[in-house]
Structure 1
Amino acid sequence: MVEPLWALLWGLFLVLLSFALFRPTKGYFWGWQRSRRMTGRVLIEDALKHIYNLEYKKQTATVASLSGVLELTGRGASDLVARAEAMRLLESSDGELRLTTSGKDYAIRMLRVHRLWEQYLAEKTGVSESEWHSEAEYQEHDLSADDVDNLAQQMGYPVYDPHGDPIPTSSGELPPRHGQALSALAAGDRAVIVHLEDEPEAVYAQLVAEGLQLGMQVDITQVSPQRVTFWADGNEHLLAPILAANISVVPLPEGKDQESEEDSESLSSLGLGESGRVVRLSRGCRGLERRRLMDLGVLPGIIIEAEMRSPSGDPTAYRIRGGSIALREEQASHIRIVRQMEVE
């Protein structure tokens, strides 16, 4: 028979071992995963992409910025730059790193793979929005030129990725990026979101948590040095200006709405016994989840009634086309409806 004390100590040991191995971002397992990707080719490709992104934004790349992005020591970043210079992919002068013509072409090819893969994850899989970028980071180094061309054809040659970044063509042409920072607007302005910056990941995670999506109309109500306040898709958002600067928008002409759609709200706002007519699925509902809802009959014009709610409050059963479906609150929030008024 196992002594209780020994069982407790053994259990504690296993907990500590698991923590050491799988501690988020710092555990040995994650370090091993990162080291697998730290081959010479992968590092050079990531470096070229970093330098190109800064050049595209009219910013300067340095050994220090490279060290921070790739999580390398200063010595490691310097050695990487030396290898890339020997391959005639970049040049360094007065502390600044600049791509050569060959380096720029290489970087654009990598961007094409990355952004196509993000579009694929968004439209064809159930991968979470917060994981698109990291998944594409892993896959972009393993696809051949033929794989990339086939992927582009399968996706219908998209021009922009799900964040609004332009996808280079097979010949290296890059569609223009348009829009201005949300933080540059004034109270009373209206605009449409055309780009959400996906780096750094911590910033993008906050934008995802806010439920912001491309194509949403925003109505600015207040702008101050402390916050930018606006309404989007029926919800009020308060962002720090530094965070709002990561959202690009195209202003709408004064007095004009993006669309003349009726005022709508989410299906999750219905009380039991209340019903609404489906107007659309939100832009945040993509890929497999969107197709599943459509297969269940959630289509524009269909009437849905909140019929029953589980004891815990989630999910809720909805009556649709003579049958019942159960939806979690998160799923129901993607369905925009117009309430049906009761007729006495």
Structure 2
Amino acid sequence: MNAGRIQREDALKHLCNTEAGGRRPTLHSLAGALNIKPDNTGALLRDMDQKGFVSFASGELALTPKGRSEGLQVIRAHRLWECHLAEETGIHATGWHARAERREHWMSPAEVDALSAQLGNPTHDPHGDPIPTAGGDLAKDGGEALNALVPGRAARVVHIEDEPANLYAQLAALNLRPGMRVEIRDKNEERIRFSADGAEHEITPILAHQIEVLPLPETEVGEGVETLASYQPGERATVLGLARGSHGSERRRLLDLGFVAGTAVEVEMVSPSGEPTAYMVRGTVIALHREQAGLLLVKSAEALKS
């Protein structure tokens, strides 16, 4: 593929994302996103202007309908390919973005539509970003950074920023994902302590800023929901379902093992090393690592009776 076309598509993608975020793109913001010199960025924009992808008619850099359409097509390909990697491969979450960055330039609109149909036409990628429709519509999901959440108020994770890669790797290592129910326990200028589907975490404010949440209505049912990882030997619970962010083979394996909604589970024992833990499920003892148990949303048997 022509290197100039790839650079133009990367530029259009940046301009679309900037526009979707309610910000104004500039020559310097584009130069930073593409990691090229401002002089080269100016030449790129002149070429894109001549070909009808951008316009300076209003005195500011803006996308034309043609440019917006092509940029959203690239974003659609990228986010659908990330869904494919999450659902149908064993590639770790930290590898999704870079692979999708390469693949997005090589897919035709027909191939993108076919992939979407194969995946069940998802509306969001594994990070929580909305996927543009084939018609060019892009949903706007409003949220706030985890830092802004008031201690004691429950919220749902709607997006986890996957750039820069070094910060995302730290969040991925904690197994944080969209769909989790979170609540801040306490916070200060150096640390934020919070629970995510029952598991306790402590991170820096800069990491918390990468997590976007939507506060839950005060009346939403869900109090007492925990993950199986928080249970101790002898305790019993009932499976409510899998965490919304569980993907691919790990999700299928847990379902195949019998961890479906309504199933009773009892913690049998923890190995001397602390990993794995044995659980009694449908008359069978099954060993799970803490990370796997953390994907199972449960409620105690006593809580369900009350």
Indicate whether the TM-score tops 0.5. yes
2:232 is aligned with 1:270: yes
- Give the superposition deviation at 1:94: 11
- Give 1:85's aligned residue: 49
Gap runs ≥5 in structure 2: none
Q: Which residue among 291, 295, 300 is the counterpart of 1:334?
A: 295
CA contact (8 A) 2:239 2:260 kept: yes
Counterpart amino acid of residue 57 in structure 1: G
SS at match of 2:31: helix
C-alpha separation in 2, matches of 1:150 and 1:323: 40
Q: Which residue among 72, 81, 90 is the counterpart of 1:126?
A: 90
- Give 1:293's aligned residue: 254
How many residues end up aligned between the 2 structures? 302
**1:144-176 deviation line (CA, Å, top 9, x unaligned):** 111111122222322222222222111112222
- Give 2:244's aligned residue: 283
- Give the superposition deviation at 1:38: 8.1
- Give 2:15's aligned residue: 51
Gap runs ≥5 in structure 1: 1-36
- Give the superposition deviation at 1:325: 3.5
C-alpha separation in 1, matches of 2:272 and 2:183: 37
List aligned pairs for 1:1-344, cutoff 5 A: 39-91=3-55, 97-254=61-218, 256=219, 258-260=220-222, 262-267=224-229, 269-271=231-233, 276-306=237-267, 313-338=274-299
- Give the superposition deviation at 1:92: 5.6
C-alpha separation in 1, matches of 2:20 and 2:140: 11
- Give the superposition deviation at 1:114: 1.4
- Give 1:33's aligned residue: none
Counterpart amino acid of residue 335 in structure 1: L
- Give the superposition deviation at 1:103: 1.1
- Give the superposition deviation at 1:107: 0.7
Counterpart amino acid of residue 285 in structure 1: S
Q: What is the aligned-residue RMSD (CA, Å)? A: 3.1
- Give the superposition deviation at 1:275: 5.3
**1:4-58 deviation line (CA, Å, top 9, x unaligned):** xxxxxxxxxxxxxxxxxxxxxxxxxxxxxxxxx8821111101110122112222
**1:227-280 deviation line (CA, Å, top 9, x unaligned):** 4443321233344444333332222234x3x43364434247434x66544333
C-alpha change, 1:277 and 1:187, in structure 2 (3 Å) is closer
C-alpha change, 1:224 and 1:320, in structure 2 (3 Å) is closer
CA contact (8 A) 1:63 1:95 kept: no
Counterpart amino acid of residue 186 in structure 1: V
TM-score, length of structure 1 as denominator length: 0.74
C-alpha change, 1:305 and 1:38, in structure 2 (3 Å) is farther
C-alpha separation in 2, matches of 1:92 and 1:338: 57
C-alpha separation in 2, matches of 1:38 and 1:128: 30
**1:58-78 deviation line (CA, Å, top 9, x unaligned):** 223333333332233444434
SS at match of 2:106: coil
C-alpha change, 1:96 and 1:230, in structure 2 (3 Å) is farther
> Which moves more between the two structures, 287-296 or 90-99?
90-99
Counterpart amino acid of residue 232 in structure 2: L
